Amino acid sequence: MNYRHAFHAGNFADVFKHTILIGLLEALRAKPGAFCYVDTHAGRGLYDLRGDEATRTGESDEGIDRLLAADDLPAALRDYVERVRAGGAEDGDGELVAYPGSPLLARPLLREQDRAILCELQPEEAAALRTALRGDPRMAVHQRDGYAALKALLPPPQKRGLVLVDPPFEAQGGEYTAIQKALEEAFRRWPNAIYAIWYPIKKRETIVPFHRWLRNAPGDVLVAELLIHPDHSPLRLNGCGMAMVNTPWQFDQSIEAWLPTAKYLLTTDDGGEARLDWLRRS
Ligand SMILES: C[S@@+](CC[C@H](N)C(=O)[O-])C[C@H]1O[C@@H](n2cnc3c(N)ncnc32)[C@H](O)[C@@H]1O
């Protein structure tokens, strides 16, 4: 387990993933009943953009920084940028110097009655996450395998909720096997929850069996993808996708309203593409 999100925080994939995450949590908040947010791979919460890891890759320059520099963003991207500024940290000149990960972006969206279960396997990352959350009693940090946690902790007492699955994909194809095994159990235990599964796109062929498997999910399946390069090279991250089960009403239209702008701002060559497809719709 070598993956450290500090090398990638605020990159194009985080912009895409976190804008969707915020939209899903805002939809859950729109109804009064309590919800539970489950983050199977939560990370450390706050990422230093001036630290050694981030400056070595410079990935946020081509991610969040492009949105910070843009005018006239669609509402969802503007909301995302404001939440990043509020959840991260800025220097005296208003420059973003720390980027908030999924738990810190979710935190202000939780109400008194809502809860979060955050799993992080790396001891140092889990300890940093506990510090970043400063003992918020609504958010429980579990230093454990997020896949096993789905079996152990679902369903939560709250009837509604969201499960974000955001693995490092170090095991490449093996990660899909782990995701599918864990989700088969989760779907049985909590069939009406929203599920959002992030995946990297290198070569398209590697994703096809996962998409086929998703057609057996317990509800509608919407897939959004953002490519910043053509998807035929296995050597680099060409894009990423989010597969969503049981999406809120008209969530496809919400994504449609900002994804083309994200593509326009984040694409680095002419192979960029934004896709939105129903894999299954009842
Ligand atoms: C892509 S990062 C998560 C980023 C975070 N969700 C965000 O959006 O800010 C993946 C994280 O999963 C952790 N991890 C790796 N394997 C895990 C496992 N089996 N269970 C839980 N966490 C794991 C890694 O240490 C890493 O912090």
Closest by Cα among 250, 82, 105 to 164: 105
Give me the CATH number covering residue 270: 3.40.50.150
> How far are the Cα atoms of 71, 82, 120, 240, 270 from residue 15, in angstroms, in the given order?
16, 12, 21, 11, 19
* Closest ligand 1 atom to 119 CA: 21
Residue ranges lining ligand 1, Cβ < 6 Å: 1, 3, 5, 17, 39-43, 101-102, 119-122, 125, 145-147, 166, 168
Residue of the CA atom closest to atom 17 of ligand 1: 121
Residues designated as active site: 166
pTM: 0.98
CA of 259 to the centre of ligand 1 (A): 25
Residue of the CA atom closest to atom 16 of ligand 1: 121
pLDDT at residue number 231: 84
When divided into structural domains, the chain yields a total of 1
139-142/115-119 β-pairing: parallel
Residue 100: domain span: 5-280
pLDDT at residue number 36: 98
Residue of the CA atom closest to atom 9 of ligand 1: 101
Query: Mean pLDDT in runs of 10 for the chain (282 residues)?
Result: 93 98 98 98 98 96 97 97 97 96 98 98 98 95 98 97 97 89 98 98 92 95 95 86 97 98 91 94 86
